[in-house]
Amino acid sequence: MIAVGCDHGGFELKEVVTDYFKKNNIEYKDFGTYNTESCDYPVFGKAVAEAVASGECEKGIVICGTGIGISIAANKVKGIRCALCHDVFSAKATREHNDANMLAMGGRVVGPGPALEVVKAFLETPFSGDERHIRRISMLEEG
Protein backbone atom coordinates (compact mmCIF):
# COMPACT_ATOMS: atom_id res chain seq x y z
CA MET A 1 0.00 0.00 0.00
CA ILE A 2 1.40 3.37 -1.06
CA ALA A 3 0.40 6.49 0.90
CA VAL A 4 0.00 9.65 -1.17
CA GLY A 5 -0.58 13.25 -0.16
CA CYS A 6 -0.18 16.78 -1.47
CA ASP A 7 -1.06 20.42 -0.99
CA HIS A 8 -2.80 22.62 -3.56
CA GLY A 9 0.49 23.07 -5.46
CA GLY A 10 0.84 19.32 -5.87
CA PHE A 11 -2.78 18.38 -6.45
CA GLU A 12 -2.64 18.04 -10.25
CA LEU A 13 0.47 15.88 -10.16
CA LYS A 14 -1.00 13.73 -7.39
CA GLU A 15 -3.94 13.04 -9.74
CA VAL A 16 -1.48 11.95 -12.43
CA VAL A 17 0.22 9.60 -9.95
CA THR A 18 -3.03 8.10 -8.64
CA ASP A 19 -4.32 7.62 -12.23
CA TYR A 20 -1.14 5.67 -12.93
CA PHE A 21 -1.74 3.58 -9.77
CA LYS A 22 -5.34 2.85 -10.80
CA LYS A 23 -4.31 1.77 -14.30
CA ASN A 24 -1.59 -0.49 -12.93
CA ASN A 25 -3.53 -1.97 -10.00
CA ILE A 26 -1.17 -0.46 -7.44
CA GLU A 27 -2.94 -0.11 -4.10
CA TYR A 28 -2.76 3.35 -2.55
CA LYS A 29 -4.32 5.43 0.20
CA ASP A 30 -4.91 9.11 -0.52
CA PHE A 31 -4.44 11.40 2.49
CA GLY A 32 -5.51 14.54 0.58
CA THR A 33 -5.70 17.33 -0.19
CA TYR A 34 -8.51 16.70 -2.66
CA ASN A 35 -8.69 19.97 -4.61
CA THR A 36 -6.67 23.08 -5.51
CA GLU A 37 -7.94 25.23 -2.65
CA SER A 38 -5.05 26.75 -0.71
CA CYS A 39 -4.00 24.58 2.24
CA ASP A 40 -1.00 23.87 4.49
CA TYR A 41 1.56 21.33 3.25
CA PRO A 42 2.80 20.32 6.76
CA VAL A 43 -0.59 18.72 7.49
CA PHE A 44 -0.36 16.36 4.52
CA GLY A 45 3.36 15.66 4.79
CA LYS A 46 2.87 14.61 8.40
CA ALA A 47 -0.20 12.46 7.71
CA VAL A 48 1.54 10.47 4.96
CA ALA A 49 4.74 10.16 7.00
CA GLU A 50 2.87 8.82 10.01
CA ALA A 51 1.14 6.22 7.85
CA VAL A 52 4.54 5.03 6.61
CA ALA A 53 6.27 5.20 10.00
CA SER A 54 3.47 3.19 11.65
CA GLY A 55 3.68 0.47 9.00
CA GLU A 56 0.16 1.14 7.74
CA CYS A 57 1.68 1.93 4.34
CA GLU A 58 4.87 0.55 2.85
CA LYS A 59 6.02 3.76 1.13
CA GLY A 60 4.78 7.32 0.71
CA ILE A 61 4.70 9.89 -2.06
CA VAL A 62 4.16 13.57 -1.22
CA ILE A 63 3.84 16.50 -3.58
CA CYS A 64 3.68 20.26 -3.04
CA GLY A 65 4.60 23.13 -5.36
CA THR A 66 8.34 22.57 -5.04
CA GLY A 67 8.40 19.34 -3.04
CA ILE A 68 10.57 21.11 -0.49
CA GLY A 69 8.13 22.07 2.25
CA ILE A 70 6.31 18.76 2.23
CA SER A 71 9.59 16.79 2.32
CA ILE A 72 10.78 18.82 5.31
CA ALA A 73 7.48 18.06 7.06
CA ALA A 74 7.75 14.33 6.32
CA ASN A 75 11.34 14.12 7.52
CA LYS A 76 10.31 15.45 10.96
CA VAL A 77 8.60 12.10 11.64
CA LYS A 78 10.89 9.50 13.22
CA GLY A 79 11.81 6.67 10.90
CA ILE A 80 11.08 8.62 7.73
CA ARG A 81 13.64 9.10 5.00
CA CYS A 82 11.90 11.30 2.46
CA ALA A 83 13.88 12.09 -0.69
CA LEU A 84 13.09 15.02 -2.96
CA CYS A 85 13.73 13.73 -6.50
CA HIS A 86 13.01 15.11 -9.93
CA ASP A 87 15.19 12.72 -11.91
CA VAL A 88 15.42 8.96 -12.29
CA PHE A 89 19.08 8.72 -11.24
CA SER A 90 18.33 10.31 -7.85
CA ALA A 91 15.20 8.18 -7.33
CA LYS A 92 17.17 4.96 -7.96
CA ALA A 93 20.12 6.10 -5.87
CA THR A 94 18.02 7.09 -2.88
CA ARG A 95 16.40 3.64 -2.83
CA GLU A 96 19.74 1.83 -3.25
CA HIS A 97 21.75 3.97 -0.82
CA ASN A 98 19.30 5.61 1.61
CA ASP A 99 16.50 3.04 1.59
CA ALA A 100 14.22 6.09 1.28
CA ASN A 101 10.71 5.21 2.34
CA MET A 102 9.15 8.38 0.96
CA LEU A 103 9.45 10.33 -2.29
CA ALA A 104 8.72 14.05 -2.58
CA MET A 105 8.22 15.93 -5.85
CA GLY A 106 7.26 19.45 -6.86
CA GLY A 107 4.17 19.77 -9.01
CA ARG A 108 5.43 23.13 -10.25
CA VAL A 109 8.88 21.75 -11.03
CA VAL A 110 8.45 18.55 -12.98
CA GLY A 111 6.02 17.55 -15.74
CA PRO A 112 3.78 14.49 -15.60
CA GLY A 113 5.86 12.26 -17.90
CA PRO A 114 9.20 12.66 -16.13
CA ALA A 115 7.43 12.54 -12.74
CA LEU A 116 5.94 9.12 -13.50
CA GLU A 117 9.38 7.82 -14.50
CA VAL A 118 10.66 9.04 -11.12
CA VAL A 119 7.77 7.31 -9.33
CA LYS A 120 8.42 4.03 -11.18
CA ALA A 121 12.15 4.16 -10.37
CA PHE A 122 11.38 4.88 -6.72
CA LEU A 123 8.87 2.04 -6.37
CA GLU A 124 10.76 -0.54 -8.39
CA THR A 125 14.33 -0.10 -7.12
CA PRO A 126 15.29 -2.22 -4.10
CA PHE A 127 17.62 -1.18 -1.28
CA SER A 128 21.15 -2.46 -1.96
CA GLY A 129 21.48 -3.89 1.56
CA ASP A 130 25.18 -2.99 1.54
CA GLU A 131 26.75 -2.87 4.99
CA ARG A 132 28.05 0.67 4.54
CA HIS A 133 24.59 1.94 3.64
CA ILE A 134 22.97 0.10 6.57
CA ARG A 135 25.56 1.72 8.88
CA ARG A 136 24.91 5.20 7.50
CA ILE A 137 21.12 4.82 7.74
CA SER A 138 21.52 3.71 11.38
CA MET A 139 23.53 6.87 12.00
CA LEU A 140 20.61 8.94 10.68
CA GLU A 141 18.33 7.33 13.25
CA GLU A 142 20.75 8.23 16.08
CA GLY A 143 20.19 11.91 15.30
Residue ranges in contact with ligand RB5 by CB under 6 A: 7, 9, 41, 64-66, 68-69
Q: Which amino acid is at 105?
A: M
114: left (phi over 0), alpha (psi -120 to 50) or beta: alpha
Closest residue by beta carbon to ligand RB5: 69
Annotated active-site residue 82? The verdict is no
- We find the least distance from the C-beta atom of residue 42 to ligand RB5, in angstroms, to be 9
- We find the least distance from the C-beta atom of residue 48 to ligand RB5, in angstroms, to be 14
The continuous run of DSSP H or E covering 72 comes out as helix 68-75
Contact of 2 with 61, CB cutoff 8 Å? yes
User: Of the residues 64, 85, 86, 133, which is catalytic?
Assistant: 64
Annotated active-site residue 64? The verdict is yes
- We find the least distance from the C-beta atom of residue 16 to ligand RB5, in angstroms, to be 16
How far is it, in rounded angstroms, from Cα 138 to Cα 83?
17
Nearest residue (CB) to ligand RB5, 28 versus 41: 41
Nearest residue (CB) to ligand RB5, 12 versus 30: 12
Nearest residue (CB) to ligand RB5, 39 versus 95: 39
CA dist 130 to 64, 98, 106, 133, 134, Å? Answer: 32, 10, 30, 5, 6
Catalytic residues: 64, 97
